Amino acid sequence: MRMRTVEISVGAFVLAGLIALVLLAIQVSGVSLTQSEQSYSITARFDDIAGLRPRAKVSMAGVTIGRVRDIAVDMEWGDAIVTMEIFGEPGSLTTDTGAKILTEGILGARYVGLLPGGDDEKLGAGDEITETQGALVLENLIGDFLTSLGD
Amino acid sequence: MRFLAWLEALGRAALLWVNAMRGLPRWSDVKLVGRQIYNVGFLSLIIIVLSAFSIGAVLALQFYTQLARFGAEDAVGLGLALVVLRELGPVVTALLFAGRAGSALTAEIGLMKTTEQLSSMEMMGVDPLHRIVAPRIWAGIISVPILTLIFNIVAIYGGALVAVDWLGADPGGFWSGMQDVVQLWEDLGKGMIKSVVFAVLVTWVAVFQGYDSPPTAEGMSMATTRTVVISSVLILAADFLLTLVLYGDF
């Protein structure tokens, strides 16, 4: 009988650990069990991304519609190539969609904001957004302001 | 001379660990390991759950009062989760484990040695390293990560209770802010790696101190104290090194 209590306790202990692991994964780190969501990737070139990071959100009208997957630099042109993963099937974004690097709040993280276009043609997987505007960097703004004061 | 003696002890400790862990795990040892998991793991649950709850509650209180000054109450959840998963969960669990179970291991093995149970086992042809030491090390390595998982979940829900239900933080911001930032491998996984390393360190120190203690009442009390002191210092030092290796961006 004594040995059974021990075994039941150990079993309950291990089970509690497993339940804690599942809860941590789902409730705390937000792993969704339906991860088979479809997505496609598009790229965009920016002159300055100023602290945009992989996994940052891509949003349109304030709603998250994708994530930044990869960031690379083109040494020849001196601009940044951002690869974004957009949830859903291709065909929802027009070819003249604009992309901007924005900041959430004053100290918040950088994200990519997409502006809807009016073109009939749609962006397919792997296409590039051409209408882009890089991040506003405070130092550059102040620099521009000071030069304009000097004129 | 002191250094040589220290080096010799380190060598003995390493040999003890290698000899005990050689050829294991064997299936016939499952029952022994289970018994030890009950002793060091299951019986440590109460102290782990109580500490986790208080720590989660205190963290939520501190985060909330400070972050509310910036209007950033939504960051309470992610701050709490990151601090608990990356640092406090593994470290505090290991420290409590060293105090609650490590000292008991040392005392148990020390007493077995003092009362010459270990040498009588050897005479019967039973290797005390396999029969006594190895199951305890395995039980520690299995129990500490489980205890850490339980610590994490209790601390986070304790914090949620204080921040959301008591102080009135927005539950949506609390949980979604946490889920946006916390990553399964980066935060939980690396925290669990820490926890396994701490488990090896604590059980190793505890078992060695017991096995190596002078067979006197005074020697045993010193060995028990040393177990808690050495393993606590080792945990904190290892935590710094592990954080450097796991999270250091270089």
Q: Which range marks the domain in which residue A53 is found?
A: 39-142
Residue-averaged pLDDT of chain B: 91
In whole angstroms, what separates CA B74 from the centre of its chain?
Answer: 31
Q: CA–CA separation, B101 vs B196, rounded Å?
A: 15
> Within 13 A of A1's CA, how many CA atoms are on the CB side?
0
| N-term to C-term CA, chain A | 93
pLDDT at B250: 59
Is the pLDDT at B44 greater than 60, yes or no? Answer: yes
> Is residue A15 in some structural domain?
yes
Sign of CA dihedral B153, B156, B159, B163: negative
What six digits make up the tokens of B97?
């484990």
For A111-125, B101-115, B193-207, B218-232, which range has the lowest pLDDT when averaged over its residues?
Answer: A111-125
- Work out the burial of residue B250: count CB atoms within 10 Å of its CB; fewer than 13 is exposed, 13-18 middle, 19 or more buried: exposed
Chain B contact for A137 (CB, 8 A cutoff):
no
Q: CA–CA separation, B70 vs B68, rounded Å?
A: 5
With CA atoms as reference, the chain B residue closest to A15 would be B146
Is the pLDDT at B144 greater than 90, yes or no? Answer: yes
Which tens digits make up the pLDDT trace of B174-209?
888 888 788 888 899 999 999 999 999 999 999 999
Chain A contact for B45 (CB, 8 A cutoff):
yes
Contact A30/B34, CB-based, under 8 Å? no
pLDDT over 70 for what percent of chain A?
91
Q: For B34, which of A6, A29, A30 is closest by C-beta distance?
A: A6
pLDDT at B75: 87
Smallest CA–CA separation between A6 and chain B, in Å? 6
Cα distances (Å, whole numbers) of residue B102 to A47, B88, B130, B215, B246: 58, 19, 18, 18, 26
Residues 6+ positions from A34 with CB-CB distance below 8 Å: none
Q: CA–CA separation, B18 vs B109, rounded Å?
A: 18
Confidence of residue A139 (pLDDT cuts 50, 70, 90): confident
- All structural domains of chain B with their residue ranges: 28-247
Q: Which segment, B70-84, B109-123, B142-156, is predicted with the most confidence on average?
A: B142-156
Contact B188/A10, CB-based, under 8 Å? no
What residues in B contact A20, CB-CB < 8 Å?
A: 146, 149-150, 152-153
pLDDT at B127: 86
When pLDDT is averaged across residues B61-80 and rounded to a whole number, the result is 89
Shared-domain flag, residues A43 and A114? yes
Q: CA–CA separation, B72 vs B170, rounded Å?
A: 11
- Inter-residue contact B64 to B163 (CB < 8 Å): yes
Shared-domain flag, residues A91 and A138? yes
Is the pLDDT at A32 greater than 80, yes or no? Answer: no
Listed residue (A115, A139, A113) closest to A52, CA to CA = A113
pLDDT at B24: 58
Shared-domain flag, residues A61 and A116? yes
As beta bridge partners, residue A110 has: A103
What six digits make up the tokens of B102?
């490590």
Strands, E, within A24-136: which ranges? Answer: 39-46, 57-60, 63-74, 79-87, 98-103, 110-115, 128-129, 131-133
Tokens 């792997």 — which residue?
Answer: A126
Which tens digits make up the pLDDT trace of A57-71?
888 888 888 888 888
Q: For A9, which of B42, B175, B180 is closest by C-beta distance?
A: B42
pLDDT at B139: 93
- Inter-residue contact A94 to A127 (CB < 8 Å): no
Give the pTM: 0.80
Shared-domain flag, residues A138 and A66? yes
- Work out the burial of residue A23: count CB atoms within 10 Å of its CB; fewer than 13 is exposed, 13-18 middle, 19 or more buried: middle
Shared-domain flag, residues A23 and A89? no
Q: CA–CA separation, B40 vs B2, rounded Å?
A: 34
When pLDDT is averaged across residues B122-136 and rounded to a whole number, the result is 88
Q: Give me the interface pTM, i.e. the ipTM.
A: 0.87
| N-term to C-term CA, chain B | 39
Is the pLDDT at A34 greater than 60, yes or no? Answer: no
Interface of A with B in 75-134 (CB under 8 A): none
B108-143 burial code (b ≥16 CB/10 A, e <16):
bbbebbbeeebeebeeeeeebbbebbbbbbbbbbbb
Shared-domain flag, residues A1 and A65? no
| A67 phi, psi to nearest 5 deg | -135, 150
Which tens digits make up the pLDDT trace of A53-102?
777 888 888 888 888 888 888 888 888 899 988 888 887 888 888 898 88
Other C-beta atoms within 10 Å of B144: how many? 32
Is the pLDDT at B147 greater than 60, yes or no? Answer: yes
Query: Domain count of chain A?
Result: 2
Shared-domain flag, residues A82 and A112? yes
Q: CA–CA separation, A26 vs A4, rounded Å?
A: 33
Contact A28/B178, CB-based, under 8 Å? yes
Shared-domain flag, residues A27 and A59? no
> Is residue A147 in some structural domain?
no
DSSP letter, residue B221: H
Is the pLDDT at B73 greater than 90, yes or no? Answer: no
pLDDT at A57: 82
Is the pLDDT at B38 greater than 80, yes or no? Answer: yes
Interface of A with B in 12-51 (CB under 8 A): 12-14, 16-17, 20-21, 23-25, 27-31
